[in-house]
Structure 1
Amino acid sequence: MTAGGPPPVTVINDKDDHPDWTAAAHTAHDPDLGRLTIDPSPANGAPAALAHDLLYALGKRLPQGGETHGTWADSQRPAWDAACAWTLAHHIGHLIVCRTDRLTHARFRQLLTLRERSGIRLTLLWHRPVSPALTTLLDETPHHIIDALPHARVALEQTEHPPADTSNPGQHPNSEPAPCQDNGQWITPHAPLNGVVVDRPARTPCPGAAGGTPSASPSPHGDGFTARDVLTVRLTTVAHPLHAAALTIHAITGADINRLALTRSIDITETATAVKVHDSTAHRRCRLYPLPSWASPLIRAARIHGQLKDHAPDSPLFPLITAQGGEQLHLTAAGIRYALGSTQ
Structure 2
Amino acid sequence: MTAGGPPPVTVIHDKDDHPAWTTAAHAAHEPALGRLTVDPSPANGAPAALAHDLLYALGKRLPQGGEKYGTWADSQRPAWDAVATWVLTHHIGHLIVCRTDRLTHARQRQLLALRERCGIRLTLLWHRQVTPALRTLLEETPHHIIETLPQARIALDRTEHSPTGTPSAGQQRPTEPAPRRQDGGQWITSPAPSDGVVTNRPKRARCQGAPKLAPTTSSAPSARGRDHTPADVLAARLTTVAHPLHATALAIHAVTGADINQLALIRGIDINETATTVKIHDSTAHRRCRLYPLPTWTRRLARAAGIHGQLKDRAPDSPLFPLITVQDGEQLRLTATGIRYHLKPTP
Does the pair score TM above 0.5?
A: yes
Q: Deviations over 1:27-76 (max 9, x none)?
A: 11111111100001122111111100110111110011132464211111
For 1:261, what is the secondary structure of its paired residue? helix
Instruction: Give the C-alpha shift of residue 172 in structure 1.
Output: 6.5
Residue 165 of structure 1: CA displacement?
Answer: 7.7
Match of residue 306 from structure 2: 303
What whole-Å deviation, never above 9, does each CA across 1:58-98 have from its counterpart, x for those lacking one?
Answer: 11100111324642111111111111111111111110001
- Give 3-state SS (helix, strand or coil) of 1:101's partner: helix
8 Å CA contact 2:64–2:334 kept in 1: the answer is: no
Distance (Å, rounded) in 2 between the aligned partners of 1:8 and 1:197: 51
Match of 2:225 in 1: none
1:285 maps to which of 284, 288, 292: 288
Q: How far did 1:124 drift? A: 0.5
Q: Which amino acid aligns with 2:316?
A: P
What does 1:262-273 correspond to in 2, within 5 Å?
A: 262-273=265-276
Report the Cα offset of residue 110 of structure 1.
0.5
Q: Pick closer, same or farther for the CA change 1:276–1:214 going to 2, 3 Å.
A: farther
Residue 81 of structure 1 is matched in structure 2 by 81
- SS of aligned partner of 1:129: coil
Q: Conserved in 1, the CA contact under 8 Å of 2:24 and 2:156?
A: yes
For the structure 1 residues 251 and 165, does the alpha-carbon distance in structure 2 shift closer, same or farther, using more than 3 Å as the test?
Answer: farther
Instruction: Tell me, in whole angstroms, the C-alpha distance in 1 between the residues paired with 2:145 and 2:42.
Output: 23
Give the TM-score of the pair, scaled to structure 1: 0.91
Deviation at 1:194, TM superposition (A): 4.3
Moved more, 193-202 or 324-333: 193-202
Worse-superposed segment, 65-74 or 115-124: 65-74
Identity of paired residues, percent?
74
CA RMSD between the two structures? 2.5
Alpha-carbon offset, residue 152 of structure 1: 1.3
Q: CA deviation at 1:200?
A: 3.1
Which SS does the other structure have where 2:326 is aligned? coil
Separation in 2, partners of 1:164, 1:228: 28
Give the corresponding residue for 1:2.
2
Aligned counterparts of 1:235 and 1:245: Cα–Cα separation in 2: 8
Q: Structure 1 residue 221: deviation in Å?
A: 8.7
Are 2:263 and 1:242 aligned?
no
- What is the aligned partner in structure 2 of residue 196 from structure 1? 197
Task: Sort the Cα spacing of 1:166 and 1:270 in 2 relative to 1 into closer, same or farther, 3 A.
Answer: farther
Q: CA deviation at 1:147?
A: 1.0
SS at match of 1:204: coil
Q: Extract structure 1 runs of 4+ deviating beyond 4 A.
A: 165-168
Aligned match of 1:106: 106
Partner of 2:339: 336
Amino acid at match of 2:188: I
Structure 1 residue identity aligned to 2:209: G
Distance 1:321 1:123, change over 3 A: same
The answer as to whether partners of 1:214 and 1:288 remain within 8 angstroms in 2 is: no
What is the match of residue 183 of structure 1?
Answer: 184
How far the C-alpha of 1:298 sits from its partner, in A, is 1.6
1:289 positional shift: 2.2
- Contact 1:100 1:125 survives alignment (8 Å): yes
Does the C-alpha gap of structure 1 residues 313 and 163 become closer, same or farther in structure 2, counting only changes over 3 Å?
same
Q: Secondary structure at the match of 2:125?
A: strand
CA 1:276–1:173 in 2, change beyond 3 Å: closer, same or farther?
A: farther
Q: Aligned pair in 2 of structure 1 residues 320, 212: CA closer, same or farther (>3 Å)?
A: same
Q: 1:45 to 1:324 in 2, by over 3 A?
A: closer
**Which aligned pairs between 1:61-80 and structure 2 lie closer than 5 A?**
61-68=61-68, 70-80=70-80
Gaps of at least 5 residues in structure 2 are: 223-227
What SS class does the counterpart of residue 265 from structure 2 fall into? coil
Q: How does 1:6-21 map to 2 (within 5 A)?
A: 6-21=6-21
2:315 paired residue number: 312
CA pair 252-172 structure 1, distance change in 2 beyond 3 A: farther
How far apart, CA to CA, are the structure 2 residues paired with 1:140 and 1:127?
22
User: d(CA) in 2 for partners of 1:69 and 1:89?
Assistant: 28
Q: For residues 80 and 44 of structure 1, what CA distance do their matches in structure 2 show?
A: 16
